[in-house]
């Protein structure tokens, strides 16, 4: 009886059937020897070459699992960190750092609320302030401004910048000596990009014609952008000490004309600058976009009349 009949027929396999013969029947391609077409021995343990390939496949599978499961492989498993894994690791690190700073932030907030300190909580204000129209801002008088110009506080500050937020034609018609003209958000961004290297104080003093709208808005915008720029190092700021000139340029000019250059005053609603007013209000309209207008009817009427020229 043939070996195939002994294996699959009714008769049991006889003792004379060898393992080699059975292997040749189960694997027809074996041609009766112990090897298949690949040259791998069927009856002996797999060679080192065959066992290495599956391990390599497992490494690829582990790498794919790591990328999509949120787990990072060790340096021994991956020679080069993928962009996806790197971004995830950086995000995790940032979150951990932020968590560690929570207590410091809480302490800084409590310190700022408990004392009248400059916005980074590092020290007291240099200049004497007064209750102004804008309770959230620090206001100074024209007398204090003159003291600053005359150098009374030079030993305590490194530099002072007087920021005139009026339109250019107003600024050119008369301004406080050494003031700079800034009336757009781009001007604020440019100011914040300047390097801060001095350990001493660089003070800013904002104002406009009356210090009722444009000056305060510029002040608040700078503080907001400064906070955003230094959000990872709260409460640090590029410009922690900022003031608002109470009464604006008009009030200052009425008392201290000798500190103005040229010695003159040109109001925003000057009858000769209706076209200039229209131009610069459009250019700086982002200051009031989306905000509630607080001007009274009289002011709007005067504005509309001048815009008609």
Query: Hey, which residues are catalytic here?
Result: 208
Q: Can you tell me whether residue 196 is helix, strand or coil? A: coil
CA 115 distance to own-chain centroid = 28
Cβ neighbours of residue 88 under 8 Å, at least 6 residues apart? 70, 72
Can you count the helices (H) and strands (E) in the chain? 11, 7
CA–CA dist 75, 80 (Å, integer): 8
Within the chain, what is the greatest distance between any pair of CA atoms? 130
- Of the candidates 239, 228, 308, 302, the one whose C-alpha atom is nearest the C-alpha of residue 269 is 302
CA distances from 230 to 93, 95, 98, 221, 239 (A): 18, 16, 13, 14, 11
Residue 235, preceding peptide bond in cis (omega within 30° of 0): yes
Q: Is 306 exposed, middle or buried (0-12, 13-18, 19+ CB in 10 A)?
A: buried
The CA distance from 306 to 87, in Å, is 56
């Amino acid at each position: 009886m043939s070996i195939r009949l002994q294996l699959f027929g009714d008769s049991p396999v006889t003792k004379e059937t060898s393992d080699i013969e059975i292997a040749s029947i189960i694997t027809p391609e074996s041609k009766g020897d112990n090897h298949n077409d690949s040259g791998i021995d069927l009856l002996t343990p797999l060679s080192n070459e065959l066992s290495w390939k599956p391990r390599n496949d497992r490494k690829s599978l582990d790498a794919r699992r790591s990328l999509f499961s949120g787990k990072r492989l060790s340096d021994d498993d991956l020679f080069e960190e993928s962009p996806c894994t790197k971004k995830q690791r950086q995000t995790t690190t940032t979150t951990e750092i932020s968590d560690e700073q929570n207590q410091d932030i809480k302490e800084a907030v409590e310190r700022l609320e408990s004392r009248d300190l400059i916005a980074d909580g590092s020290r007291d204000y240099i200049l004497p302030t007064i209750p102004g129209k804008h309770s959230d801002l620090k206001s100074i008088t024209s007398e204090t401004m003159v003291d600053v110009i005359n150098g009374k506080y030079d030993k305590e500050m490194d530099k002072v910048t007087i920021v005139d937020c009026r339109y250019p034609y107003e600024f050119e018609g008369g301004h406080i000596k050494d003031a700079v003209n800034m009336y757009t958000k781009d001007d604020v961004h440019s100011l914040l990009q300047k390097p801060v290297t001095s350990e001493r104080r660089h003070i800013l003093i904002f104002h406009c014609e009356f210090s009722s709208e444009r000056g305060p808005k510029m002040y608040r915008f700078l503080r907001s952008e400064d906070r955003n720029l230094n959000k990872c190092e709260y409460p640090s700021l590029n410009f922690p000490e900022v003031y608002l000139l109470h009464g604006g340029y008009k009030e200052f000019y009425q008392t201290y004309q000798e500190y103005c250059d040229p010695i003159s005053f040109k109001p925003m609603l000057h009858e000769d600058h209706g076209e200039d007013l229209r131009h610069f209000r459009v250019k700086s309209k982002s200051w009031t976009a989306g905000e509630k207008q607080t001007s009274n009817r009289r002011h709007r009427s005067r504005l509309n009349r001048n815009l008609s020229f």
